[in-house]
Amino acid sequence: MRTWNDKKRGGSHKLWLAIKLELLLIAAAGCICIMREIKSRLWESAWESGGQAWTSEDGEAIEVTADGGYIKWVEFHVTCEALKAAYEQDVDTYKDEKHLNWIELIAYVGAKHGGQFDKNSVREIQKAAEAQRSGESTMKELTEGMEYYDYYLEAYTAVLGGMVGEFSIETEDGSVASFYGLKAFSPIAKGFDYSHYDDFGSSRSYGYARPHLGHDMMGQIGTPVICVESGYVEALGWNQYGGWRIGIRSFDGKRYYYYAHLRQNYPYAEGLAEGSIVTAGDVIGYMGHTGYSVKENVNNIEVVHLHWGLQLIFDESQKESDNEIWIDCYELTKFLYQNRSAVAKVGDSREWKRVYEMKDPAVEAYQSGKAPAP
């Protein structure tokens, strides 16, 4: 039988639960107000810089652009399958009267779906391509009324702009042939195994808590690392987070390729230095596990791998700041697998060289001073 004291304690317990619930509700309401204030300030900041915000149906901000200024944020969710479908349309129509631009096709789907791509994206790309090839429509007509098409076109051009075009390359019989197509390469040389998964944004704790802003490709020490796109070496040396690393800027200045955790004692290709001009497909370094140390040449990374990242730069103020734009390279890495650079060992040395030399018009334009200024 419950005593009066038991009932009193029970009543007090219920009262305490009620008070806790009310406090939780007040706290939740406070959080909502704070989030609304933060979002409001973010929107105000975007508009003050001449920006626009693209929202989904539930009102959540997806992208922020700068109308008349420069892009502040990009999320790259284009699937490997969508990249392939658009690329094939571009190559198939090369020199046709109605040559299709693969980036325009991708931007069209991106603008339709707020930057999201799924299994239906390939069909949408093919349908848009067919409409243009048949003369039924043009890209201008297809994108009429799409308020954010220009944003996606600029953003995706920043990601993919230097990867497709004309080039010439040596063939197996020693001759040189001219091509139009993919002139960017996988970061790992042909014939070398690796494993990978989508690890973009996963947590890192060395130094300070931060997200992983690149893509890891696990393999063996000494695996030749390949230059993805032609450009010039902007950074070379030790970084306590990336160990021995290389930073290569595209000639148009929009892309900064970051290759990290290179091999201890012999991290770089012979002769590579800051300012060196490199051609897509060149061997630039060797996989290792250096980094996580202020002391140079230390192997403090547990798993041997290449970390490669792609930073987009629309304004030089973004280069080394709190406003850097790094994209998820997993799907792009899968896409680039179709173009892997064949390499051969140089005698008894630890050096590897590409087998088939390539001439990239972008390199020649940069050397002659005709390349677009960053």
Over residues 213-225, the pLDDT tens digits come to: 899 999 999 999 9
Query: What pLDDT score was predicted for residue 341?
Result: 98
Rounded distance, CA 280 to CA 227, Å?
A: 5
pLDDT at 372: 63
* 41: CB partners within 8 A, 6+ apart: none
* CATH number assigned to the domain covering 166-367: 2.70.70.10
pLDDT for 371 equals 65
Amino acid 54: pLDDT = 40
Separation of first and last alpha carbons in the chain: 84
Four-point Cα dihedral 315, 291, 335, 322, nearest 10? -20
Average pLDDT score over the chain? 86
| pLDDT for the residue numbered 369 | 87
Token pair, residue 265, equals: 């004692």
Over range 221-248, report the average pLDDT: 98
Q: What is the model's pLDDT at position 295?
A: 97
Q: Per-residue pLDDT averaged across 248-264, rounded?
A: 98
Name the burial class of residue 239, with classes exposed (0-12), middle (13-18) and buried (19+) by CB atoms within 10 angstroms of its CB: middle
List pLDDT tens digits, range 13-45: 454 555 445 555 444 444 434 333 333 333 333
287-338 confidence digits (pLDDT tens):
999 999 999 999 999 999 999 999 999 999 999 898 999 999 999 999 999 9
Which has the closest alpha carbon to 254: 157, 329, 361, 110? 157
pLDDT, tens digit (0-9, with 9 covering 90-100), for 153-189: 999 999 999 999 999 999 999 899 999 999 999 999 9
Residues of the chain with CATH 2.70.70.10: 166-367
Dihedral class, residue 321 (left if φ above 0, else alpha if ψ from -120 to 50, else beta): beta
The least confident of 62-71, 157-166, 277-286, 325-334 is 62-71
Contact 191, 170 (CB under 8 A): no
- Residue 99 pLDDT level (bands cut at 50, 70, 90): very high
What's the predicted TM-score (pTM) here?
0.82
